[in-house]
Amino acid sequence: MRRMPEGAGLSWSNVCKVYEGAQGATQALDGFTLDVGPGESVAVLGPSGCGKSTALRIASGLAAPTSGSVAVNGRPIASPRRATALILQDFGLLPWKTVAQNAGLGLQIRHASASVRRERVAQALATVGLADFADAYPSELSGGMRQRLAMARALTCDTDVLLMDEPLSALDAFLREEMQSMLKGTWEKEGYSQVIVTHSVEEAVFLGQRVVVVSPRPGRIVYALENSEMTDAAWRDSDLFFERCRTLRAVLHGRGNHA
């Protein structure tokens, strides 16, 4: 039974982003608007270069919109906030630090006491199944274990918004499904809000209570699919799962009705 949501509401409101370069201006986003409810899981699909990653960076506070706004619980984001975690494709792990040290990095930056760090790191590593690898280094871990470590680091910091940019893209198909189940189970247990950017239709339908499709650059949302059944235990093997995947593929290939 999932506990009550503890996540924060996240919203992009008419966000535009233009990058200025030597070859001229490039518009990454144009009127990007999306509301994520507290404790909701939203998957974002779209072609490469459509601005999906830019939208996450703006939501994390690492980049600013050219126009429009992003807010958490109604408060505009002007800089990185402590309770928002961003997991990138390379996981952002420090190779010279152990698993436990990597997991506790956010707490160390925030000057948490050693006792608090030990307690929270131990809890987070247990949650993601890495309790026996606390003294190992990232180079000694498999791709799936490194992904779990990135998740553990997010869990130590009282995260209420988790942003993930293609976190499973480098994994083989079997391990990717295993990690998808871990991501869903952790979200169900912890109750944070999450947004996952992916190129995989199946991954989006498995992880998103709602799936949105972004247009080619400049990115804006052109389709939204309600997908509340994703919490069912046998969801991946259901007929409705495959039907939702077919619907999204049709939209991505221009055969669906855009919202």
Handedness of CA 61, 197, 6, 116 (dihedral sign): negative
For residue 199, what are the contacts with CB-CB under 8 A and spacing of at least 6?
45, 48, 166, 169
Query: Which has the higher per-residue pLDDT, 193 or 176?
Result: 193
Nearest Cα neighbor of 91 from 51, 131, 48, 146 is 146
Cβ 16 vs Cβ 69: under 8 Å: no
The answer, yes or no, to whether residue 210 has pLDDT greater than 90, is yes
Average pLDDT value for residue range 20-36:
92
**Banded pLDDT at 182 (limits 50, 70, 90):** confident
Q: What is the residue extent of each domain of the chain?
A: 1-83+160-258, 92-157
Cβ 220 vs Cβ 29: under 8 Å: yes
The pLDDT of residue 214:
96
Instruction: Kindly compute the dihedral angle of the four CA atoms of residues 20, 26, 29, 30, in this order, to the nearest 10 degrees.
Output: 100
- pTM of the entire predicted model: 0.87
Q: Which amino acid, residue 41? A: S
The pLDDT of residue 4:
39
The pLDDT of residue 259:
44
The pLDDT of residue 15:
97
| Axis-axis angle for helices 143-155, 173-190 (nearest 10) | 10
Nearest Cα neighbor of 39 from 202, 144, 195 is 195
Average pLDDT value for residue range 172-192:
88
The pLDDT of residue 112:
82
The pLDDT of residue 3:
40
Nearest Cα neighbor of 245 from 197, 181, 199, 202 is 202
pLDDT digits (tens, 9 = 90+) for 121-162: 998 899 888 999 999 999 999 888 888 898 888 888 888 999
Instruction: State the residue for tokens 């919490």.
Output: 231
Query: Which has the higher per-residue pLDDT, 112 or 212?
Result: 212
Q: Which CATH superfamily, name and number, covers 1-83+160-258?
A: P-loop containing nucleotide triphosphate hydrolases (3.40.50.300)
The answer, yes or no, to whether residue 1 has pLDDT greater than 60, is no
Percentage, residues of the chain above pLDDT 90: 61
The pLDDT of residue 22:
80
pLDDT digits (tens, 9 = 90+) for 55-66: 999 999 999 999
Tokens found for residue 29: 């986003």
**Banded pLDDT at 257 (limits 50, 70, 90):** low
